[in-house]
Amino acid sequence: MSVPAAFLGVIIIWSTTPLAIQWSSEGWGFMFGVTGRMLLGAVVCVALVMALRHKIAVDRKALETYVAAGLGIYGSMMMVYWGAQYIPSGLISVLFGLTPVATAVLAAFCLQESGLTPGKFAGAALGMAGLAVIFGADINGHAIAWQGVVAMLISVFLHSVSAVWVKRINRSLPALTTTTGGLLVVAPLYSITWLVVDGNIPAGYEFRPAAALIYLGVLGSVIGFSLYFYILKHWEANRVALIPLITPVSALLLGHVLNNEVISFDVWLGAFFILFALSIHQWGDYWLQSIRSRVVTVKR
């Protein structure tokens, strides 16, 4: 699979994830929703590995990779599900848009990637400005609980640490293997956490939470994580972190097409900021260097 195709796949899946997370917790509680998702994902991953006859590597670096991936799957997703109780789904995407900044800083110190260049930093800042414009009305129209905001900020940090850690270990593994290993690491952790914190099994069947849980378990966990780790294997960590800058916009457009949601002028303005920010983040340093070179040439 081409990396751009995988990149697009992750954007589509992550665009629908925040709303599906809230739906999967309706009437069931967030702990049952996230635990059920991860257990289902682990089962599907193991089944795929067996069907494809892949071998799960168990050397030291491979095991470190599974633990590093598990940090993001367990810690980050736990915070997202818990925080989703207090904030709207749109704000989840907005706050997760801070990931490029956190990842760029961590990658610069841990991987010696060019994460703190003026162009990349300016692109991340413009991206956040665009996200603020898009969801400004939504944020102002809701009572935002500080618990949800703090939980999402912790999620952003853990997700960034996980991405940089996996990249730093640099163990060449198939994306499905990394996902399977990560889910096998966190599945028992989620089960124990659910037993200690909640332990309640839903008494009745509800279609929407069940459908959302299955969607998240199969597409959100297995396919989404596999594509994510595939991209992380081929691209720089701070470049992969551009995904959370795009998903709020794509989620907005999906809502307009599939759910007849009205897009205001402010939203289109914010979308423009996002696209411009992505351009600056990707090519800003090259453009700045070109301008400097031309200025030096003219002076000569």
Per-residue pLDDT of the chain (300 residues; tens, 9 = 90+): 688 888 888 888 888 888 888 888 877 788 988 999 899 989 998 998 899 888 888 899 999 999 999 988 899 999 999 988 887 776 777 777 777 777 777 777 776 665 567 777 777 777 777 767 766 655 545 445 678 878 888 998 898 888 888 888 888 888 788 889 999 999 999 999 999 988 777 777 778 888 888 998 888 878 887 888 788 778 776 677 677 777 877 777 776 776 565 666 766 777 777 777 767 766 777 677 777 777 666 666
How distant is the alpha carbon of residue 79 from its chain centre?
A: 12
The structural domain count of the chain equals 1
Alpha-carbon distances of 7 from 42, 47, 228, 231, 242, rounded to whole Å: 22, 24, 8, 7, 10
Those residues whose C-beta lies under 8 Å from the C-beta of residue 34, and which sit 6 or more positions away, are: 25, 77, 78, 81, 190
pLDDT computed for residue 189 by the predictor: 94
Q: Which of 83, 98, 93 has its CA nearest to residue 17?
A: 93
Three-class HEC string of the chain: CCHHHHHHHHHHHHHHHHHHHHHHCCCCCHHHHHHHHHHHHHHHHHHHHHHHCCCCCCCHHHHHHHHHHHHHHHHHHHHHHHHCCCCCHHHHHHHHCCHHHHHHHHHHHHCCCCCCCHHHHHHHHHHHHHHHHHHHHHHHCCCCCHHHHHHHHHHHHHHHHHHHHHHHHCCCCCHHHHHHHHHHHHHHHHHHHHHHHCCCCCCCCCHHHHHHHHHHHHHHHHHHHHHHHHHHHHCCHHHHCCHHHHHHHHHHHHHHHHHCCCCCHHHHHHHHHHHHHHHHHHHHHHHHHHHHHHHHHHHC
pLDDT computed for residue 267 by the predictor: 64
Query: Per this entry, what is the length of the chain?
Result: 300
User: Residue 183 and residue 78: Cα distance in Å, rounded?
Assistant: 13
- Say which amino acid occupies 20: A
Print the domain residue range for 281: 3-299
